Amino acid sequence: MLDGQTCLVTGSSRGIGRGIAEDLGEHGAEVVVNYRSSEEAAHDVVDAIEESGGTAIAAQGDISKYEDMEALAERVHEAFGPLDVLVNNAGITVDKKFDNMTKEDWDAVIDVNLGGVFNVTHCFWDDIKRSETGRLINVSSVVGQQGNYGQANYATTKSGLFGFTRTLALELASTGSTANCIAPGFVATDMLEEVPKRVQEKILRRIPLDRFATIDDIAPVIRFMASEDSSYMTGQIIGVNGGMEW
């Protein structure tokens, strides 16, 4: 389904990013597993992809540093040639009520979740435009659609991806490449495990399907966005949230 396509998934050494990378690799893509500091975990992902018959490399780089992304682009080009699919998945949280949020807390999340998306997209922009199957896929969140208590910085960055996606979809349209965005609901990852159980129960009551998402609910949607099957879909925000209103 994705044979011959080179895909970069930022922040793919764990969580949703790992699931996306492994799924793309299992379906024929050449996968670049990006990580900032979790080198061993990133190589575990590469091993898993190769064991499934796929091809992958691990590539270090902090998306908040433009020079790191320039170096990452060189690494990708040396290994596989031009990129076809960019999945902007990497992000961080620094959760606090706005009363207690510092400028440093705000800037830390903005610099990674929006600044980092700019950096990596800008460094691979020409590749995506020139590819016959160019795909820009941004991973947002239901939090960007609804807001969430204690996450003013995070919600701002995730809603910002909507405007970013729709604008770049317009700018890519003449090339035939596309830009789309997925907005997952609450996914059962180690990040969710850190949320107190009473809060998890409160969230669960808001989900009509009465369960948290799994990574297997998210990765196939990304794979569809990366594939030729999605060639007439661009500028879209796809909610995968168990029926939560937004």
Cα–Cα distance measured from residue 37 to residue 68, given in angstroms and rounded to the nearest whole number? 13
Which token pair is 158? 């995730």
Do the beta carbons of residue 7 and residue 87 sit within 8 Å?
A: yes
Which token pair is 113? 């979740």
Going by C-beta distance under 8 Å and a sequence separation of 6 or more, which residues neighbour residue 103? Answer: none
DSSP states of 148-185: -TT-HHHHHHHHHHHHHHHHHHHHHGGGT-EEEEEEE-
Active-site residue, selected from the candidate residues 35, 66, 149, 154: 154
Do the beta carbons of residue 88 and residue 137 sit within 8 Å?
A: yes
3-state SS, residue 114: helix
Do the beta carbons of residue 134 and residue 178 sit within 8 Å?
A: yes
35 is catalytic: no
Catalytic residue numbers read 154
